[in-house]
Amino acid sequence: MKRTLEWQIATVTSLRNETPEVKTLTLSLPDWTAHRPGQHYDVRLTAEDGYSTQRSYSVASEPERKGEIDITVERIADGEVSAFLLDTVGVGDRFEVRGPIGGYFVWDKSLGGPLLLVGGGSGVVPLMAMLRHRAVAGVKDPARLLYSARSYEQIIYRQELEMLAQKNGLTVAYTLTRTQPSGWKGYTRRIDDAMLKDVSAPLGPNALAYICGPTALVEVAADGLERVGLPAERIRTERFGPSGT
C-alpha cells in the first residue's frame, strides 16, 4: 500500500526567482514517489510554540525527476505560508510535506490526444508539470496553453514556455489583463468565450481540458469551454483559492 498520506521531512536544495513575487523551491524527499502531473503536496509548518498550519502546493516538476520535486509559490497579500516560503526559507531548511495527492486533476502521456490547458497566475504550476512531462516523454499530440497573467513580468516560466513552444506541437497564447509591453500582440482582456473558442477550436471536440487558477477564472473558463463546444466530461478543474474553494 502506498504511503502517500504520511508526513515526511523535505529539505530545500535550491531556490529560484521566477518573477518578483514568485519563487520555485526544489525539495529533496527521503520518501519520494513519482507523482502524476497535476497532483499536489501539502506543506505543514510548525512553530517552536507548537502552532502548526498547512497549505497545498502543486508539483511543478515532471515525475521523471527522481528523488525531488519543485513547488512554485506565489506571494498572496497578507499570506501566512506563502510569505514564509518566499521570505524566510533558505537552502538547507527543512519542513514537513505529504503527497502526492489528487487523482482527478491529473494528466499523463497514457491519456494521449489533444490537450488544452488554461491557467491563471500560479494556476499554471500544475499545468507546467504536465507540459514538462509531455516534453520529456516525447508526446507529439497537439497541446495548447492559454495563460492569463496581469503583466508580462508576471508570466511564470516565460523562457521555458517559449522553449517548449518551439517543439512537440505546443502552442502558447497569453492574455495580459492589466499592463502590456509596447508592441504586445497577445490578448489584453480577461478570458472570455471568444478567446476560448480561438484557442480550443484547432484541437477539436476530443480535447481534454485542464483549467487551474483563482476560483472566478476557473468558473468562467469551464462554463465558456462548454459554451464553445467542449463536452463537460472532457473538462477538469482545480481551484487555488482563496482557501482552496
Ligand X SMILES: Cc1cc2nc3c(=O)[nH]c(=O)nc-3n(C[C@H](O)[C@H](O)[C@H](O)COP(=O)(O)OP(=O)(O)OC[C@H]3O[C@@H](n4cnc5c(N)ncnc54)[C@H](O)[C@@H]3O)c2cc1C
79 lines the binding site for ligand X (CB under 6 A): yes
User: CB under 8 Å to 166, separation ≥6 — which residues?
Assistant: none
Pick the closer one to ligand X by CB: 154 or 200.
154
88 lines the binding site for ligand X (CB under 6 A): no
40 lines the binding site for ligand X (CB under 6 A): yes
72 lines the binding site for ligand X (CB under 6 A): yes
Stretch that binds ligand X, among 112-120, 150-158, 170-178, 234-242 (CB under 6 A): 234-242
Pick the closer one to ligand X by CB: 102 or 224.
102
Stretch that binds ligand X, among 54-62, 127-135, 138-146, 221-229 (CB under 6 A): 54-62
The CB-of-210 to ligand X minimum distance in angstroms stands at: 13
Q: Which member of 18, 21, 74, 108 binds ligand X (CB under 6 A)?
A: 74
17 lines the binding site for ligand X (CB under 6 A): no
Stretch that binds ligand X, among 2-10, 27-35, 74-82, 161-169 (CB under 6 A): 74-82
User: CB under 8 Å to 117, separation ≥6 — which residues?
Assistant: 127, 130, 131, 143, 144, 145, 146, 209, 210, 211
For ligand X, what does the binding mask look like between residues 195 and 214, x meaning CB under 6 A?
-------------------x
**8 A C-beta contact, residue 115 and residue 130:** yes
At 98, list the grid cell: 505529504
Stretch that binds ligand X, among 5-13, 52-60, 175-183, 193-201 (CB under 6 A): 52-60
Stretch that binds ligand X, among 30-38, 77-85, 139-147, 173-181 (CB under 6 A): 77-85
10 lines the binding site for ligand X (CB under 6 A): no
Give how many residues touch ligand X by CB under 6 A. Answer: 23
Give DSSP secondary structure letters for the chain.
---TTS-EEEEEEEEEEEETTEEEEEEE-TT--PPPTT-EEEEEEE-TTS-EEEEEEEB-S-TTSTTEEEEEEE--TT-HHHHHHHHT--TT-EEEEEEEE-SSS---GGG-S-EEEEEEGGGHHHHHHHHHHHHHTT--S-EEEEEEESSGGG-TTHHHHHHHTTSTTEEEEEEESS---TT--SB-S---HHHHHHHHGGG-TT-EEEEEESHHHHHHHHHHHHHTT--GGGEEEEE-TTTT-
Q: Which member of 12, 97, 106, 125 binds ligand X (CB under 6 A)?
A: 125
16 lines the binding site for ligand X (CB under 6 A): no
Sites of contact with ligand X (CB under 6 A):
40, 55-58, 72-74, 76, 78-82, 122, 125, 214, 238, 240-244
